[in-house]
Amino acid sequence: MERIQSALAKARSARDRKLQSTNPASAAGGGPWPDLAEIRPDLKLLARNRIVALNPGHAAASFDVMRTNLLRTLRANSWTRVAITSPTPGCGKSTVALNLAFSIARLTDKKVLLVELDLRRPSLLSVLGQPNDQQFAARLAEGRLDMAQVKRIGPNLALALSGSGVSSPAELLSAPRTADLIDELEAVLRPDVVLFDMSPMLVSDDALAYLDQVDCALMVAAAEETTVAEVEKCGADLAKRTQVLGVVLNKCRYMEDEESRAYAE
């Protein structure tokens, strides 16, 4: 276990050195963000797709609490990269990832990059009501970082999305070249937070293949769907590779109003 931890620390410090040595211009604040093509999703469609954290308010409150806790942990550990995964498909990873991204992006001094890496079931373009023609992952598979595939919503949220998957996600995600290209993307954009919308842990080894590249992970579980055994297995598998920040219990049908507000205050 200690050996794994020290190998992880070594890999991360190598990555940090690389990040610090690149692109001082964007670190200074300007950088390439204004050049990213902007997309303007339809707000009604977003609401229908349960993306509720664009604006502050009651619906966004639980994501804002999650954001505050997450940012505190990232800052305390000098981390930037967060994997969002779940035991099985459909628990709400993409919904949580996008809401959390919007919540962070509302802070004027924070930039957030959301990278879609659930390459068997990419969904973010359709949630955002965008055409399926973005192919960030396919370009990675070709061995190149294509900034034309990276879009922006507002000044603080960048998205690297894919309309369709790739033929061998686990191979792509474990390739050193992929790690290098995503390092390069982070070095170019210098976001405060990078969220990775990953595959579920218990149905393939796709997410596992990329976990060495992240600092920590959030697990999304679906109330009344995910079993305790699935949470335990997923948590144990994650803990072998990264720091597990906690479990987000999603799809709760019965949540006392008082309860959710009390936590937010």
Ligand X SMILES: Nc1ncnc2c1ncn2[C@@H]1O[C@H](COP(=O)(O)OP(=O)(O)O)[C@@H](O)[C@H]1O
By CB under 6 A, name the binding residues for ligand X.
49-50, 86, 89-95, 123, 250-251
Nearest to 250 by CA among 58, 131, 84: 84
How many CB atoms neighbour CB 219 within 10 A?
Answer: 25
Judged by beta carbon, residue 5 or residue 132, the one nearer ligand X is: 132
| Distance in angstroms (rounded) separating the CA atoms of residues 47 and 157 | 18
Q: Do 204 and 194 touch, CB atoms closer than 8 A?
A: no
Q: Which position among 52, 61, 67, 118 is part of the footprint of Mg ion (CB under 5 A)?
A: 118
Q: In this chain, which residue has its C-beta nearest to Mg ion?
A: 94
Closest approach of Mg ion to the CB of residue 7, in Å: 29
Q: Binding partner of residue 49 among Mg ion, ligand X, none, CB under 5 to 8 Å per kind?
A: ligand X
Write out the binding residues for Mg ion, residues 67-86 only, by CB under 5 A.
Answer: none
The first and second tokens of residue 89, run together, are: 């498909």
How many CB atoms neighbour CB 46 within 10 A?
Answer: 19
Closest approach of ligand X to the CB of residue 54, in Å: 16
Give 257: exposed, middle or buried? Use CB within 10 Å, 0-12, 13-18, 19+: exposed
Give 67: exposed, middle or buried? Use CB within 10 Å, 0-12, 13-18, 19+: buried
Closest approach of ligand X to the CB of residue 50, in Å: 5
Q: Does 94 bind Mg ion (CB under 5 A)?
A: yes
Stretch that binds Mg ion, among 50-58, 118-126, 171-179, 250-258 (CB under 5 A): 118-126
Judged by beta carbon, residue 2 or residue 224, the one nearer ligand X is: 224
Judged by beta carbon, residue 12 or residue 50, the one nearer ligand X is: 50
Closest approach of ligand X to the CB of residue 253, in Å: 8
The first and second tokens of residue 93, run together, are: 């990873």
Stretch that binds Mg ion, among 1-9, 80-88, 121-129, 236-244 (CB under 5 A): 121-129
Longest dimension (CA), the chain: 51
Q: Binding partner of residue 89 among ligand X, Mg ion, none, CB under 5 to 8 Å per kind?
A: ligand X
Closest approach of Mg ion to the CB of residue 83, in Å: 13
Q: Binding partner of residue 62 among Mg ion, ligand X, none, CB under 5 to 8 Å per kind?
A: none
Stretch that binds Mg ion, among 19-27, 122-130, 147-155, 172-180 (CB under 5 A): 122-130
Q: Note the helical H segments in 106-227.
A: 124-127, 136-141, 169-174, 176-189, 206-210
**Got the DSSP string for 39-61?**
----HHHHHHTT---SS-STTTH
| Distance in angstroms (rounded) separating the CA atoms of residues 184 and 178 | 10
Closest approach of Mg ion to the CB of residue 123, in Å: 5
* Total count of residues recorded for the chain: 265
**Site for Mg ion, rule CB under 5 A:** 93-94, 118, 123
